[in-house]
Amino acid sequence: MEAANLLYRDPALYDVIQSDSTGAGMCQTLIEMYRPDARTLVDFGCGTGRDLEILAKRFECTGLDLQPGMVDYARQARPELDIRIGDMRTVRLRRCVDVVTCLGNSLAYVHDNNEITQVFATFAAHAQRGSLLVLCSPVAPITSTEPMTATVDTPSGPATVTIRHEWDLRTQINTMHRHWVLTSGDEAQDEIRRRVLLPRELEQYAERAGFEVLDMIDSSGGRLAGPTAYTVARYT
């Protein structure tokens, strides 16, 4: 998956930059709407556990991530959480939960059709009748090629990042090229490749695994319009 991502190589930096994530809040809103009695939750691709920390105030949670460095950091930063190394294409916890989540675009790092099918099989393996699946993933490409520069607060001070997007229609992969200028003056480059599953395509993967899609909403919580969607589905 995306070990080339600078933020995966520096989990502390990742944790700070993700501090304004609304993923956990959106996830809780959807759970309250469609499964308010839910008690147990498994999050695939939990990263440093920032969203899981919020969800754990409401649910009995387990988090899994493929990157050992992220898991090690999460265990040190949030030792109260149950966070494990696991590949969402193959991992089996041998138990079912009320809610299965995959937030932070984690699903988009699986590019191959067969492997996406494997991931949905993993979701289904941890679900029982009535369980919810909540996903956050890109459902439309970013096609603009104009570079964008922003200032990012980091633990060592402000850094500058210039971002350029590239869209490959044949593979449905959006590549984000980033050039970082850190506070120290050091420079770094990385790239992130995300597979875009269009809404009907995403719905088909879910249905084949036994899930009925209940809703897809924009990251702002409204009608689906932006490149990223929150999808909620029920295991039938």
SS3 content of the chain, % helix, strand, coil (to 5): 30, 35, 35
Q: What percent of the chain has pLDDT over 90?
A: 75
What one-letter code names the amino acid at 63?
G
Task: Give pLDDT, residue 17.
Answer: 67
Q: Where are the beta strands (DSSP E) in 108-210?
A: 132-138, 148-154, 157-168, 173-181, 187-195
Cα four-point dihedral sign 18, 24, 29, 31: positive
State residue 216's pLDDT score: 96
**Which residues does 149 contact at the CB level (< 8 Å), separation at least 6?**
160, 161, 162, 163
Pick the closest to residue 210 from 104, 129, 106, 154 (CA basis): 129
Helices 199-208, 113-125: axis angle to 10 degrees equals 50
Average pLDDT, the chain: 92
For 102-150, what is each residue's pLDDT tens digit?
A: 998 999 999 999 999 999 999 999 999 999 999 999 999 999 989 999 8
Q: Which two tokens stand for residue 117?
A: 């099918």
Which one-letter amino acid corresponds to residue 168?
Answer: D
> What is the bridge-based pairing of β-strands 132-138 and 99-102?
parallel
Token pair listed for 206: 């879910």
Are 185 and 215 in contact, with CB atoms under 8 Å apart?
A: no
Name the 3-class secondary structure at 150: strand
Question: What residues have CB less than 8 Å from 56, skipping those under 6 apart?
Answer: 80, 81
H helix count then E strand count, the chain: 7, 11
Please give the chain's pLDDT, 236 residues, in tens: 444 566 666 777 777 766 667 889 999 999 999 999 999 999 999 999 999 999 999 999 999 999 999 999 999 999 999 999 999 999 999 999 999 999 989 999 999 999 999 999 999 999 999 999 999 999 999 999 899 998 888 777 888 999 999 999 999 999 999 998 988 888 888 889 999 999 999 999 999 999 999 999 998 888 898 899 999 999 99
pLDDT for 148 equals: 95
Q: What is the pLDDT of residue 1?
A: 45
What's the rounded Cα separation, in Å, for the pair 125 and 29?
Answer: 24
For residue 5, what pLDDT is reported?
64
